[in-house]
Amino acid sequence: MASRATMERKESPQPVQKDPDVLAAAARMAGEDLCSIADLSSGEVRAIVKLGHDVKRNPREYRHALDAKQMVLMFEKASLRTRLAFETGINTMGGNAIFVDQTSTPLGERETIADVARNLERWVDVIVLRTYAHDTITEMAANSRVPIINALSDFEHPCQALADFMTLEEHFGTATGLNFTYVGDGNNVCHSLMLTGAQLSANVTVATPRGYSPDIEIVTKAREIAEANGCEIRLLQDPQAAVEGADAVYTDVCVSMGMEHESTKRAPIFRPFQVNEALMSKAAPHAVFMHCLPARRGEEVTDAVIDSPQSIVFDQAENRLHAQKALLLLLLGGLANVESFQR
């Protein structure tokens, strides 16, 4: 796959307040759930990213957009970026965050998920879940009258992927036509990246060891979206071929939370997929390195790569805040309270 030329950063072609994607998303997404990137249209993915850029540039415009809105975060897994970005995001837009630690008592154990949903919807405006089982998120969504946001499940990590492609737009100007390569385990992050890349017309190549490919349903859906948007989804088992000419090289841990018992088995299998200087040299000269963090340095990535000038991992982390603020604004109808959207 031929590498695209390096693009200069550029602003949106028109004010976000008049952007048709943003206006359509504001009308359609209010009160909806985000369980999967597949829940969104291409226009809605573009809208979240465009709004994320504007929130980042003009934070004061949105400081009262979610006045008095209440958000609960119920997390079965540890979190740094996801939790703090959501809490900071709603707090800086006038709302309030309530954190409930579910690490010792998984959702559905003490009382049914349906009963939890029917309680929460009486008190809060949005429910953010970080769970092991994706079914926990979809069951909560089926029983709640307020929006549910997937803040990570065993199947997807949509908030991560939205921030990642926002970051790519900052560095390359657009995701359209970008050659994006993911190397490693075909996990939840990989799933959301495939879907988001396809929605934004990026060419996505995934290289995994045999037996660790992404879920076939996700692959099929991503390819359907890619075909409609004029881009390509490729699955390979050779990391060297996968990164050839890539504009962005992305990896994640090879042992996700909850899979620690497989560490010894997976280590030798994933060793050839480590992103090191030799592998990065196969990518385009202007290529960036990406990781969702936390990283296991010396395993899936070397210090020389993650600490190099090519690395944009902390830009990704920063943009979790802005992409999640944009998502909250759209799901909670917050743009109606932003003065610039009322003109």
> Which active-site residues does the annotation give?
130, 157, 160, 252, 292, 320
> Which residues on neighbouring strands pair with residue 72, listed in sequence order?
98, 127
Instruction: Report whether 326 contacts 55 (CB < 8 A).
Output: yes
Element holding 331 (H helix, E strand): helix 313-331
Instruction: Report whether 23 contacts 333 (CB < 8 A).
Output: no
The pair of structure tokens assigned to 75 is 């997390």
Instruction: Report whether 334 contacts 62 (CB < 8 A).
Output: yes
Phi/psi zone of residue 178: left (φ > 0), alpha (ψ -120 to 50 degrees), beta? Answer: beta
Q: Which of 277, 205, 274 is nearest to 241 (CA)?
A: 205
**Rounded (to 5) percent helix, strand, coil in the chain:** 45, 15, 40
CA of 335: how far to CAs of 162, 185, 318, in Å? Answer: 19, 38, 22
DSSP class per residue in 117-163: HHHHTTT-SEEEEE-S-HHHHHHHHHH-SS-EEES--SS--HHHHHH
Residue written as token pair 């990989």: 190
Give the span between the Cα atoms of 125 and 135, in whole angstroms: 21
